[in-house]
């Protein structure tokens, strides 16, 4: 079946942070000694974008960019004028959709008074705060550099600067956390009236300090109790769950993440950034990722050495990759999107669909792909059932 090019986003990875957190498995590098070359990095980001646009041609050009996301690391280590310079460069190279969502991740411990005005003026219209908890003891255990009061002050400062679209990241099932403690974090988050809350379970990821020396975490039953109780709190406060870990006020769902989950396209620039592009000219879904270490990425300066891996996704892997994203959405996706975005006829997954429905994991709907409440709880099993 012919592929149809989906919406396009842009992901920008900023790899530095003040200190690496013990649970973090992202491509982030603590700042040591001399300050990182922030201005040079912005220059190289634009060279990386230029090279990707040359390499991908029509697959990357022509479609307006729906969203831009600065992730990290800690993007708020970059001064507003550098973010402004980069966004100006993007506007010169790519068309932007009306009201393009532009998100910048920020650490409450790195913000400086007055910076939010600068980010807003540069074109950043959405902020995502890595709060994680409002309990100072839990923040210390997580290796965070901010306190609960600093987190609250940073959010209020952003709101005073004019930000009307703010996400707060919260974790639950933290070391020695109680159900009451998890609910207290949600209560304090809601009190700040953000438009979006990401609420996800702390997990021990390989190659992290926590994986090497695991802290005492709540067991699965206690973690599930926290999830259910906090979901109810968020719903009562007007935050609708639209993805396994995402809750939003009306009309405030994250455009960028929705594009990921709907198997949309995105250019990925920056050290360790991943991208995905639909190449309708040859009928493939293409993935490319950049070399991880900032020094190697900077040394490549937009040349071939910036690429850490490259190539089409194998057809046998596409059903799993698609479901890995789409099944996270609480409301699901139109079933027709599967063939349009993978090029694979529905007959290829008919058996897996039938089996998942028989197990009660998917709703009985021939036009929609959507998990049941049971399917959401056992999501990894549901997704794995689509492995060839």
Question: What is the DSSP annotation of 23-66?
Answer: T--SS-EE--SSPP-HHHHHHHHHHHHHHHHHHHGGGTSSSPEE
pLDDT, residue 281, reads: 87
- The SS3 assignment for 376 reads helix
- Within a domain: 44: yes
Shared domain check, 113 and 32: yes
- Within a domain: 287: no
Shared domain check, 372 and 229: no
Shared domain check, 328 and 194: no
Domain count, the chain: 2
pLDDT, residue 338, reads: 96
Shared domain check, 156 and 66: yes
- Within a domain: 236: yes
**pLDDT tens for each residue of the chain, 388 residues long:** 788 899 999 999 999 998 888 888 888 888 888 899 999 999 999 999 999 999 998 878 889 999 999 999 999 999 999 999 999 999 999 999 999 999 999 999 876 656 999 999 999 999 999 999 999 999 999 999 999 999 999 999 999 999 999 999 999 999 999 999 999 999 999 999 999 999 999 999 998 899 899 999 999 999 999 999 999 999 999 999 999 999 999 999 999 999 999 999 999 999 999 999 999 888 999 999 999 999 999 999 999 999 999 999 999 999 999 999 999 999 999 999 999 999 999 999 999 999 999 999 999 998 999 999 999 989 999 999 998 7
Residue in the block written with tokens 């890995």: 324
Q: What secondary structure letter does DSSP report for 362?
A: B
pLDDT, residue 348, reads: 94
Shared domain check, 253 and 132: yes
- Within a domain: 102: yes
| Cα–Cα nearest to 261, from 273, 245, 240 | 245
pLDDT, residue 58, reads: 81
- In angstroms, the CA 193 to CA 159 distance is 10
- Within a domain: 356: yes
Buried b (16+ CB within 10 A) or exposed e, 222-256: bbeebbebbeebbeebebebbbbbbbbbeebbbbb
pLDDT, residue 30, reads: 87
- In angstroms, the CA 45 to CA 82 distance is 11
| Cα–Cα nearest to 4, from 375, 340, 362 | 340
Examine the fold and report which residue of 259, 277, 296 is the final residue of a domain before the chain moves on. Answer: 259
- Within a domain: 291: no
- Within a domain: 241: yes
Strands 274-279, 29-30: pairing is unpaired
- Within a domain: 192: yes
Domain holding 322: CATH number? Answer: 1.10.10
Shared domain check, 320 and 217: no
Here the tokens at position 75 are 């993007």
Shared domain check, 253 and 322: no
Shared domain check, 214 and 74: yes
| String of DSSP letters for 296-355 | HHHHHTTSGGGEEEEEEPPGGGHHHHHHHHHTTBTT-EETHHHHHHH---GGGGHHHHHH
Which residues pair with residue 248 across a beta bridge? 196, 240
- In angstroms, the CA 280 to CA 300 distance is 29
| Type and span of the H or E element at 71 | strand 65-72
Which residues pair with residue 311 across a beta bridge? 287
Give the rounded distance of the alpha carbon of 218 from its chain centre.
25
pLDDT, residue 158, reads: 96
Shared domain check, 171 and 31: yes
> Which residues, including other chains, have CB under 8 Å from residue 326's CB and lie 6 or more apart?
261, 262, 263, 332, 333, 337, 338, 369
Examine the fold and report which residue of 229, 259, 289 is the final residue of a domain before the chain moves on. Answer: 259
> Which residues, including other chains, have CB under 8 Å from residue 80's CB and lie 6 or more apart?
115, 117, 118, 119, 121, 122
pLDDT, residue 228, reads: 96
Shared domain check, 245 and 322: no
Is the torsion defined by CA of 326, 327, 332, 333 positive or negative?
positive
Domain holding 77: CATH number? Answer: 3.20.20.70
Shared domain check, 335 and 207: no
CA distances (Å), 209 to each of 21, 25, 205, in order?
8, 9, 9
Domain assignment of residue 339, given as a range: 316-384
Shared domain check, 365 and 239: no
Examine the fold and report which residue of 259, 281, 308 is the final residue of a domain before the chain moves on. Answer: 259
- In angstroms, the CA 381 to CA 30 distance is 36
Please classify residue 214 by burial: count the beta carbons closer than 10 Å to its beta carbon, then call 0-12 exposed, 13-18 middle and 19+ buried. exposed
């Amino acid at each position: 079946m012919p592929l149809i090019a989906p919406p396009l986003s842009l992901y920008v990875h900023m790899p530095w942070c003040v200190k690496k957190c013990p649970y973090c498995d992202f491509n982030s590098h603590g700042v040591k000694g001399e300050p990182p070359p922030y201005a040079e990095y912005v220059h190289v980001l634009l060279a990386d974008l230029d090279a990707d646009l040359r390499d991908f041609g029509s697959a990357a050009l022509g479609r307006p960019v729906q969203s831009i996301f600065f992730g990290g690391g800690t993007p708020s280590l970059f001064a507003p004028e550098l973010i402004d310079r980069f966004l100006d460069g993007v506007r010169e190279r790519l068309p932007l959709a009306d009201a393009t969502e532009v998100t910048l991740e920020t650490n409450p411990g790195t913000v400086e008074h007055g910076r939010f005005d600068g980010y807003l003026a540069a074109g950043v219209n959405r902020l995502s705060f890595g709060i994680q908890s409002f309990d100072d003891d839990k923040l210390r255990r997580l290796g965070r550099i901010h306190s609960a009061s600093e987190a609250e002050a940073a959010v209020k400062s952003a709101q005073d600067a004019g930000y009307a679209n703010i996400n707060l990241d919260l974790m639950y099932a933290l070391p020695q956390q109680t159900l009451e403690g998890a609910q207290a974090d949600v209560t304090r988050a809601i009190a700040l009236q953000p438009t979006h809350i990401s609420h996800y379970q702390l997990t021990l990821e390989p190659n992290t300090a926590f994986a090497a020396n695991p802290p005492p975490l709540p067991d699965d039953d206690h973690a599930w109790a926290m999830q259910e109780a906090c979901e109810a709190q968020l719903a009562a406060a007007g935050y609708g769950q639209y993805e396994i870990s995402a809750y939003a006020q009306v009309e405030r769902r994250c455009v960028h993440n929705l594009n990921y989950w709907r198997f949309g396209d995105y250019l990925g620039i920056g050290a360790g950034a991943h991208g995905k592009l639909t190449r309708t000219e040859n009928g493939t879904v293409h993935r490319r990722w950049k070399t991880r270490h900032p020094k190697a990425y900077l040394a490549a300066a937009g040349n071939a050495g910036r690429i850490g891996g490259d190539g089409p996704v194998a057809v046998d892997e596409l059903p799993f990759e698609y479901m890995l994203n789409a099944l996270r959405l609480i409301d699901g996706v139109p079933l027709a999107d599967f063939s349009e975005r993978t090029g694979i006829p529905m007959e290829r997954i008919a058996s897996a669909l039938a089996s998942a429905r028989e197990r009660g994991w998917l709703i009985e709907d021939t036009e929609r792909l959507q998990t049941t409440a049971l399917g959401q709880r056992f999501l990894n099993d549901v997704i794995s059932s689509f492995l060839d």
